[in-house]
Amino acid sequence: MISIIIPCYNEEEAIPLFYKEINKTIKEMKVPFELIFVNDGSKDRTLEILRGLAKKDKKVRYISFSRNFGKEAGILAGFEAAKGDYVAMMDVDLQDPPYLLKEMYETLQDENVDCVATRSVSRNGYSFFRKIFTKWYYKIINTISKTPIVDGARDFRLMKRKMVDAILSLKEYNRYSKGIFSWVGFNTKWITFENTERVAGTTKWNFWKLFAYSMESIIGFSTMPLLVSSVVGVLFCLISFIMIIVIITKTLTIGDPVAGWPSLVCIIFFVSGVQLFCLGIIGQYLAKTYLEVKNRPVYIIKETENDL
Ligand code: UDP
Ligand code: MG
């Protein structure tokens, strides 16, 4: 059986379109399916639509959260609920084309392949700003993190049970799926496709949300920023040491009329800035650690198809 996890947040318009498309693929494939929709605290009619689908179609299951917990929480809930031998995850907005599932499933019949993942080659529909930001983000994270993050990788992928169990064994609270998929290893085959615009509704990500998400992934998968702040500290100590020697020699040889107040102020400002910046980096890691040790559940379920 193939389980498909579909996180949904305010997707009343997209769900019926998605359901129609995926059913076409399911009919062609002749493999048992289960569709696990995760309602991530939607404020529109998403839940009603899901209830309706689950009532009339036995392969439709749904998990409804008590509030919006974010897409990562939705993905985890789906993974935990999935019963299939193969598990896929995809967006409901048809930006991940369902017809690819067939090719992905066939590729997985090769016993050396554990996962088939997709990446989009183009960034159609991205704003100019987002394109530049995305490009730099991948450059930076791949330089500083040991876990490779593939440029343009989408969350759309199909994997075998073994890999799913490995992913579920990672119990962290701050979850970044792209990193987790890469971290667990296994043999992943990539297929590419052209990015398309969503069929209905609007994107749930604005620039700041994306920015915060990317920062989270850097903190989650690299401790390099901490190293950078230590290096900056050492560098500043060296510079100040050289300056001390220069000033002492200057005073002893040519004497020192009191001067240099403006430069002193500049240096104080600069150095305190660097200090605060480095403290901020430590603070970010501390904050994540704090959230991690609190050990709160990643999501809370309010209703599932069993409550119908
Ligand atoms: N989503 C979610 N919870 C959120 C935000 C988004 O479950 O808090 C879902 C959303 O319904 C969609 C998928 O995650 O199925 C991807 O979201 P979107 O299409 O808005 O992202 P984009 O494709 O623009 O990156
Ligand atoms: Mg989308």
Ligand 1 neighbourhood includes 40 CB (under 6 angstroms): yes
Mutate to test the pocket of ligand 1, among 4, 6, 8, 9 (most ligand atoms within 8 A of CB): 9
Range of the domain at 105: 2-206+297-307
Same domain, residue pair 169 and 277: no
Same domain, residue pair 195 and 89: yes
Q: Is residue 165 part of a domain?
A: yes
Ligand 1 neighbourhood includes 104 CB (under 6 angstroms): no
Looking at the structure of the chain, the number of domains it has is 2
Write down the pLDDT at residue 152.
Answer: 83
Question: What does pTM read for this prediction?
Answer: 0.85
Same domain, residue pair 107 and 9: yes
211: which 2 tokens? 């920015």
Nearest Cα to 64, choosing from 11, 1, 3, 2? 11
Write down the pLDDT at residue 132.
Answer: 87
Q: Yes or no: say if 1 and 33 are a contact pair by the CB < 8 Å rule.
A: yes
Q: Is residue 181 part of a domain?
A: yes
Residue 112 β-bridge partners: none
Expressed in angstroms and rounded, the spacing between residue 108 Cα and the centre of ligand 1 is: 26
Same domain, residue pair 11 and 49: yes
For residues 223, 228, 234, 239, the Cα torsion angle rounded to the nearest 10 degrees is -170
Same domain, residue pair 59 and 190: yes
Give the H/E segment covering residue 185: none
pLDDT tens for 130-173 read 888 888 999 999 999 888 888 888 889 999 999 999 999 999 99
Mutate to test the pocket of ligand 1, among 91, 156, 214 (most ligand atoms within 8 A of CB): 91
Same domain, residue pair 109 and 229: no
Ligand 1 neighbourhood includes 230 CB (under 6 angstroms): no
Expressed in angstroms and rounded, the spacing between residue 200 Cα and the centre of ligand 2 is: 10
Q: Yes or no: say if 160 and 231 are a contact pair by the CB < 8 Å rule.
A: no
Q: Is residue 34 part of a domain?
A: yes
Same domain, residue pair 199 and 242: no
Q: Is residue 219 part of a domain?
A: no
For residues 155, 158, 163, 166, the Cα torsion angle rounded to the nearest 10 degrees is 40
Ligand 1 neighbourhood includes 196 CB (under 6 angstroms): no
Do β-strands 115-120 and 2-8 pair in parallel, antiparallel, or remain unpaired? unpaired
Same domain, residue pair 272 and 302: no
Write down the pLDDT at residue 216.
Answer: 87
Ligand nearest the Cα atom of residue 64: 1
Same domain, residue pair 155 and 270: no
Write down the pLDDT at residue 237.
Answer: 86
Task: Count CA atoms closer than 13 A to 149's CA, side-chain side.
Answer: 26
State which residues of the chain have pLDDT below 50: none
